[in-house]
Amino acid sequence: MKNFALIGLGGIASRHRAAIKDNEGYLAAACDIDIKKRIDWESYRGICYLVSDYKMVDSMREINWVSICTPNDLHYEMAKYFADNGYKVICEKPFVLKPEQCDTFDNNVFVVHQLRFDDDLKRLKKRLADIKFNHYAKMVISIHRGQEYWNSWKGQIERSGGLLFNIGVHYIDLLCWLFGEMKDYDFTGNHRQCAGTLKFEKVTADFTLSLEAEKDNQKRYLIINGLEEINLARNLESLHSKVYKEALEGKGIHPKDIKYTLEVIKELSQKLGD
């Protein structure tokens, strides 16, 4: 039985809805405090319950999975509530804004870090595991975020965690997952753009992240040794179904697996100005 409740009906929720369907799950309830967003989901009335309080889900006996797509600062309290009440949980990134909170959870909670499920990146990780010499990597993430982004909760550091927690989390996690423990770094910037060099045991990675790109000139890529380029934009947004498949099989990414990434992000974020 794969009956889901979806908490938070913002833009990312549609990808979760599709992933649930792709994995033969059933969306039994959808929740958001914003009545306008619930109205946008009116076509699902009769298919699933539409509710305003996430705790109402706990009274719906048929639900056993909960997907959390709310603002970042709400993830911990919601994930803990549902985990403590016996549900299996899939939570959007960043899982929490305080790395130590990862220790609260067991293997019934899964985190969306979809780049780890990309086939090309998995092959790259396997190759890098056997490297005998130092490598150089360059990651450039240059994307556009308009004023609507900055006017929303995403532009509020206390809610989103800022640039690295809200946007950089995918890419810092990818570097840590591929290259291992970060040994040193030189990093600077603010919560609109930042750059630096991250040093791992056998890899030196130049990293640039900016939200100031023009709409028609956005870039997301990783280059290894100046030769091999991986386009990180090609299917970042189409991997949620794989995330769900692994979670449903009990093989997904758990909070303990991304705690180190969040520790790195917390440290780097302290180097950013306003």
Question: What is residue 138's predicted lDDT score, i.e. its pLDDT?
Answer: 97
> What are the structure tokens assigned to 84, written together?
């403590």
> Spelled out in words, what is the top-level CATH class assigned to the domain 3-112?
alpha beta
Report the distance separating Cα 178 and Cα 137, nearest Å: 11
Mean pLDDT by 10 residues, the chain (274 residues): 92 92 91 81 64 85 93 97 96 98 96 94 87 88 96 96 97 96 97 97 96 94 89 78 96 97 98 87
Q: Rounded to an integer, what distance in angstroms lies between the CA atom of residue 252 and that of residue 112?
A: 9
CA atoms within 13 A on the CB side of 119: 2
Domain ranges of the chain: 3-112, 115-234+254-273
Q: Quickly name the fold that domain 115-234+254-273 has.
A: Dihydrodipicolinate Reductase; domain 2 (3.30.360)
The DSSP string of 55-93 is GGGGG-TT--EEEE-S-GGGHHHHHHHHHHTT-EEEEPS
Which pLDDT value is given to residue 109? 98
Contact in structure between 193 and 210 (CB atoms under 8 Å): yes
pLDDT at 273: 86
